[in-house]
Structure 1
């Protein structure tokens, strides 16, 4: 089973392979990058200094724990750990976890501490030299029509069975809206349906509404819209998701109301009374935000509404990191960028769109991710039976914990944004 592996690595890597890592699948994990003694020493000092100032307890190699509070980080191979970070920054930090070179009993806790202090981890003089050490996003991962298709398929076409292992019965892969925290697993499906209904209500979807959904997922939103009497066109670039959604829609008896199209949002034609898109704008790419909002505006009838669910980050952090190639890009979501609310508003305005309501609910995403992460951890053996190896499993648990930590630290947020054409009520 092919995992979402990245672009080719630099050739200047050592031949040392961590035990159990398949070099053909995981070239960036299987070899520790070559680094000069000076660069490794600088990385070691910066990382030691950062860890020493954080509420973490750290053990390097066989040394005793340092620090007196916070989650424990055990670095089994300090030499490889510092070399990876010195060459590849936070990409190297994630790859070192995938390689088993460091570990913790509280991954979310460790990553939440790091996310809470992200702006101060690197000394300010080195931050000003970011362009010299931070990787840039590969041109091949631009979200052109062909690039977007490839980027989406690298994640969403991994396996429907994989996602079914940790998603609830609705197969909804976005934040739910809960009644209270902490929520049991049994509350997740209801939380997802509540979220969907809020979006459909915000877009005023009802009997006879011509609805466009950009990003089908596995079909739950289209099903709930059809049950209201809407006529739904939903588009996706994932063949796996489309096949699953078509089968669900037919089984529910809504095939006559829902058309599931395998196409890019830029290829959609027609007029729609409402447009809904859930956590898809993050995959558009900053370069294409104007095209995205121009397209939505052109498809929306006068008086219609657009309801977006969007993951966001603070505007200053978005500006500081907008061109950086991260671990998430390399292994999980190629070509993506998390926008700020301000950036989305600025991109939508030239298309004649204005925001008429904005509701943030970031803590609900942290809770959603906790439930997914715990479910995934319970099913490691089932993941490997699907053909995914232990390195993939560590990658995926790092991804879920990394995302949860972002919301717990309030570095990330999620919003329901409702937009309308200027002058519309």
Structure 2
């Protein structure tokens, strides 16, 4: 059911924002602790392995978790629990197959095509082991969100797993005299095990009891096809977000450039995390709105989002732009010089894209692949070209400029197209 009450809307979004803010603060603390206790090369091994994990996680997901938020809320609203259950089982099988294939290909790349050090390879090995755990956990949390319990779903991925990881990192640093980047990834691996167990338990609790027994039914092949745009979109966005770290590691402009950019991106990512957590609500609401054609509710949803997001982003930017050097100095002194300009650029860029973040969700729900993917391809190619040109000269700042140009241009285009389509549909009486 749609959330009609303004108070109920702000209550749920407020809970999600607090969870996301706290969780990202814990991730920030994890990165801070590791940056201060690891050698620069070991911290680089850690951030590269994290970037690889996020990239292969996006590949493995196949868009099935995002598509779950498109198809399942409307099914639950109409009491079509059996159809939702079949999609659930279909997705689990595809995720496990995908995890095996992606892990094998990544292992081949890491061992045969890329000359990583032994320590860097160990970190990547642990990220491969964490891959199926993370993919299944994210999918189960999408299902929990589809049932209407976005708060519990967000708690697992944004709070529970990071809290456990922080605890394991602290224990490992006390117990081990020689900390490594692989150790940090191992802590995440163990935490994903517990996260998957909790998500599984909450899926069982949240699933509607009226579902009944499943009748034999063939897998709907259209699910894979319809999930494809969600997959390609997420994959493209992860590539755009993580490729800078991978190219910085490859081009190696200076020893601290990769770590400085990763620290800046992690801190500036607070705004993006708030959007990602609360967008679960908007994705679920959009699914029901587009199913009913109630564009009045769509306008209300957009206004309510801006009412809480504008002041939050304003406060975030104020702190980020004033205390930039102090924040980066918490990581390592070398990161201040390398990352100050990059952090400010990334903070402004992230805030701008968050404000426009509903537009791509709307376009994906309306199956506007012909609009989305040419724009994504152009943005990704533009960023890679800019990275190759700017990183050797401007290092972390150049990487941030490349990211800013590609992302602001992409989201501005999505917002313009989405606004025009909503106006056209509203004028037709849809």
TM-score interval, smaller chain: under 0.3
Pick the structure with more helix per residue: 2
User: Could you tell me the TM-score, scaled by structure 1's length?
Assistant: 0.26
Q: Which has the higher contact order (CA 8 A, sep 6+)?
A: 2
Instruction: Write 1 or 2 for the structure with the bigger share of strand.
Output: 1
